[in-house]
Amino acid sequence: KHRICLVCAQKTNTMVFLVLLVVCDISVTQSSLICIYLCVVCLLQYKGMANLHVFEDWCGTSIAQLRKNLHYPLYPHNRTTVKKLAVSPSWTNYGLRIFGYIHPYTDGDFLFAVASDDNSEFWLSDDENPDNLKLRAYVGKTGREWTAPGEYGKYASQISDLIPLQKNNKYFFELIHKQNDKGTDHVEVAVSVSAVPGLIVCVCVCVRTDESSLKAADVNHIPQTIASHVTRLQRSSQTPPLGVDMLRADPRDSFHQVPLLDRVRLQGVLPDCIYNPSYSIKGYPLMRYQGLQFVHLMYVYPNDYTRLTHMENDNKCFYRGDPYYLERYGFSNYIQLDLPENEVKYKGTSNNECFCDVFKFKDNNHIGMEIQDNAIHIEEVGEGGEEDDAWVNQGFSEDEDYELTNRAVYDVEVKWCQTFQAKPLDLHALRSDWIDLKCNVSGNLLLEESEALSVVEAFMKKLNQKYPRQFSLEHIVNIEKKPDYSRGSRYLLELELLEASGRHLSLVQYIYVKRTEVWGSHKKQKAQGEELKLCNPYSFYWNPTAIVHFIIPVKNQARWVQQFISDMEEIYRTTGDQNFNVIITDYESSDMNIEEALQSSYLPRYQYLRLSGNFERSAGLQAGIDLITDDHSIVFLCDLHIHFPPGFIDTVRKHCVEGHMAFAPIVMRLNCGATPLEPDGYWEVNGFGLLGIYKSDLDSIGGMNTKEFTDRWGGEDWELLDRILQGGLEVARLYLRNFFHYFHSKRGMWNPMLSRKTNFKGTDTS
């Protein structure tokens, strides 16, 4: 009944032979015996492990979606090993990359097969060189494909062609898997050799690199292959994906590259005037978090397309209607149905009924019969009925086919000729400058074109009076209006000018339009032929050379710190702007040497401060603020998970005015699986944690509140906002194009605590 099998394995480093006696059932197949032998050899000679990299918190089902992950493939959440190519961690929304070397146990032609839920790819090189990888087998490309565990024959792509391998060689392989939040997660690879029929889930593998002693920031050993490599975000065409108009090219995006017209040359173009807006609440007592009510939006021209139209299927708050009504009735109240020509009005008919020719079905001399609820009736199946009767619930039985096809069933009459009228709808004009905390897709307020053009025309007239025939208006890049309904409105003009010499210059200037006592608004002045009263708001000007300090407190966020440094390097390469400084305060991070990473970077300026104890955001920010010696520089309280547009530093400078104004740009939070080129998400209208303010102004209001907000955060931004407004400053609030917050979960953030339910050993998961 039993047979004894002798399996020998050699441990090469000590030349010790292991003799293993295996008592097997007589029915054990040859492939199973080979599998036993193979696993013993792997365990002793090759350690029987492969590198496993885990990318958590990433939605989607396709491998293409995994490759869009910001950290793929160099900065996984976890780096560990796996003993066999069959993994099921019982988790959701993740991607796996398993790689190493395969050691054939014999010469021959091999078949490899892969199964997974959801998509997966198995790559194998012709030799040990990762550069020679080839895709051998896969489950799907679109994300809709999946298999049950061990199901290798569902798709033709799951099984590879015959691959000749030699026993004494090793071959680099890579297994990639993407799992969403549904189904039983698994991925496995099986192998078969032509000499032995049948598939066996037993592949002799070994690690490419022992990562047990490496930090998360050590990535030079990670292979970048044709299957997995770093790709830069870039638009494939001028047409934005998903219909996101914000991604279209806009002159604002590259305006920082145009040389700036010196402010000295603008002196005397407009007279100076006292700037004392009526909405200043300096010294006004505020209740905790009441300052939010005193922050108003600005108007912009031309349209910057910050309205998230591609997200309005999920959120129609822009239309100001009752959500329940919009969901049920749509926009029927926006239209007025036309009455048909030659209408014959009958008693009891409504105005919306038309009597044009329509196609009607006739049966038994009845026309236009109404559909009744019981027009189609399927008898219920009682308990204990025949098995075939159960099909009634799924559709129609054979006995019912004839009966049902002869019942009188009529389509609803469709009024194809119905026309309607709709008035032009400008919902932007109906919006106020109050911040709507319940609507996170609306975007910036739009300034009327006539108003924008009249202000620019008046300014260019004054400029030409000062410099006759020296400047001409080439392009209106951007205009921002801050209304003051009591005293006047402030405008930021960003114009591209053409000098007489042919040189293009950028003009960025704050101007003020006074409110007259007679008419009260410049539009009525214009209607009466009066000239707009433009002036320079006294001491209200921006400094184009001010140093901007980005301050970030961190703890064990290696992959995000490295990404932030790379983003800052990219801004430096793109703009050549040296007047910014990166300050990182580090709460004893153990996953990377941040100071060393800063030293090896291409950043023009940086500062590093190591702190001890638990992570405290307010204290970490204040420690960074205290490192700044120039009171006339700008502090930007930053977050680690941000994607910056190229001209962001200049944008901060333009909207921070010392003694007058701080800047709180509104960031777009990306959804799980979204990227800056496919930006599904919403505007973070509630948060003020991303804030630019002059060091002198921040010091004057007391800096960060480190007493109340220690090792917790949430609310410290609103508390700081209260003090900024009470200090007499205003806060510029603007939806900023291409300014994104990357999705990340808070599981294990800063102080990771893992449940025993997971099979992975984590470091940090931000």
List, for the chain, all residue ranges whose pLDDT scores fall below the cut of 70: 1-47, 195-203, 233-242, 321-325, 342-409, 516-530, 713, 747-766
- Of 447, 377, 431, nearest to 407 (Cα)? 377
pLDDT at position 262: 93
Complete domains list, the chain, with CATH: 47-206 (2.60.120.1560), 249-313+440-541 (no CATH), 543-741 (3.90.550.10)
Cis, bond preceding 73 (omega within 30 deg of 0): yes
DSSP 683-717: E--S---SEEEEHHHHHHTTS--TTT-SS--SSHH
The pLDDT of residue 333: 76
Site of tokens 């009767």: 389
> Distance between CA 208 and CA 124 in Å, rounded?
14
Place of tokens 């405008």: 491
Integer angstrom CA distances of residue 607 from 197, 554, 555, 628:
64, 13, 16, 10
What pTM was computed for the model?
A: 0.82
Classify residue 300 by burial, with Cβ atoms within 10 Å: 0-12, 13-18, 19+.
Answer: buried
135, two tokens: 């895709």
Distances (CA, A) of 520 to 176, 270, 486, 517, 531: 66, 21, 8, 6, 13
What distance in Å separates the CA atoms of residue 92 and residue 180, rounded to the nearest whole number? 6
The 10 Å Cβ neighbour count of residue 10 is 13
Locate 425 and state its tokens: 């709808």
pLDDT at 414: 86
Answer for the pair 196, 177: CB distance below 8 angstroms, yes or no: no
Q: How many CB atoms lie within 10 A of CB 450?
A: 10
The CA-CA-CA angle for residues 510, 513, 515, to 5°, reads: 150
Q: In DSSP terms, which residues pair with 403 in a beta bridge?
A: none
Distance (Å, rounded) from C-alpha 410 to C-alpha 604? 76
Angle, alpha carbons 68-680-476 (nearest 5°): 105
Return mean pLDDT, the chain.
Answer: 82
